Amino acid sequence: MTNAQQSNYQKAISRLHQIQLGLSQSETTPQHQAASRRPNRMKLLYPTSLKLNTKSLEGFGVDLVAYDVKKTLPEDAIDAECLVTWCNSSDNLKDAAGRMKKLRWIQSLAAGPNDVLNAGFSASEITICTGSGLHDHTVAEHALGLLLNSARRFFEMRDYQLQGKWPGHLGGPQPDRPAGKFTTLRDARVLIWGFGNIGKTLAPWLTALGAQVRGVARHAGVRDGVEVYGEDKLPELLPETDALVMILPGSEATKHVLNAERLKQLPNHAWIVNVGRGTSVDDEALLSALEKEEIGGAALDVFTTEPLPENSPYWKQKNVVVSPHAAGGRERKFWSQRTYVAFQPDKA
């Protein structure tokens, strides 16, 4: 483990022990002791959506119980104190929020807590941790792929291929970095809005390909050599952007932050890549900008409604790449070295 992971691991272990201590102190009545599973042990529910070698977790004072993330919890599982979530259905989480009265701790393996909070779990009563940092590489890689797809127009080549046609206008001699077009990452001005861990992973890859990278976040400063600006600077930054990469979390504060006003501030050749949350984009405004060719295009991995409805205008919209929320969601070795508790508590 890295130093940061080791630090997070120790913090999480400390929190786990605190919960255990609190339970042992509160479960002192004869009736409770008689009904308990084993003295001073917690029950932890882990999802069947994740491959888990339970032998690697031996040594903790925890009873591990597997559960199906697509079904309601059985009666003998609702008394658990700890819940690990990964790819749970909304119905499953809502059911758990209403029935798990002894729950003390939730470990979501998703990058953000949105699905857990939306289900009705209270962050004031339950410690909620996220998988922040687990998906940095895979999401950054996907964002890079969408940027290259947009610049080199692989999506259009594929369209011609399916028609059995040769897209001659995309091959042969081409101008090098033409002004007013997004055709390469070399010298491209890339703005990462929501410059956190994923942005810090993506930035050096873009720089290696010759891009000029800047970031936007709640707090300005220099992060890993990248100049990061506050959101108040967006009116100055957007007109100087060839590709806008959005990695914003889903919340009321970020809802529709990419609106008609900000879309108009982008050059008409600029592309938008969204690997954050679909709710951060005003769909009506984006579709209007695309139809009027006020922006170059959009490569979208996340949407307000998922799966994307069959009648969504995005499917047939020119210069739109639809990605089925595929940037994250790739199972990593979450549980190696007992790191199932080694995640940062959510600070939102």
CA distances from 151 to 23, 119, 299 (A): 56, 39, 11
- Residue 214 annotated as catalytic: no
Q: Which one from 277, 330, 332, 338 is the annotated catalytic residue?
A: 277
Amino acid 178 reads P
Q: Which of 323, 274, 324 is nearest to 295 (CA)?
A: 274
Written as one string, the DSSP assignment of 25-94 is HH--SHHHHHHSSSTT-EEEEEETTS---GGGGBTBSEEEEEE-TTSPPPGGGTT-SEEEESS--HHHHH
Rounded Cα distance between 67 and 162, Å, is 43
Token duo for residue 62? 């925890």
Active site residue 325: yes
Report CA-CA distances (Å) from 168 to 94, 160, 165, 172, 174. Answer: 53, 10, 9, 7, 11
Alpha helices (H) in the chain, listed in sequence order: 3-26, 30-35, 90-99, 114-119, 136-152, 154-162, 197-208, 234-237, 260-265, 283-291
For residue 70, the tally of other CB atoms under 10 A from its CB is 13
Query: Does residue 52 contact residue 58 with C-beta atoms inside 8 Å?
Result: no
The active-site residue out of 137, 269, 325, 338 is 325
Residue corresponding to tokens 């004031």: 124
Strand 221-223 vs strand 226-229: parallel, antiparallel, or unpaired? antiparallel
Contact 44, 54 (CB under 8 A): no
| 307 cis-preceded (ω within 30 degrees of 0) | yes
Contact 80, 126 (CB under 8 A): no
**Active-site residue numbers?**
277, 325
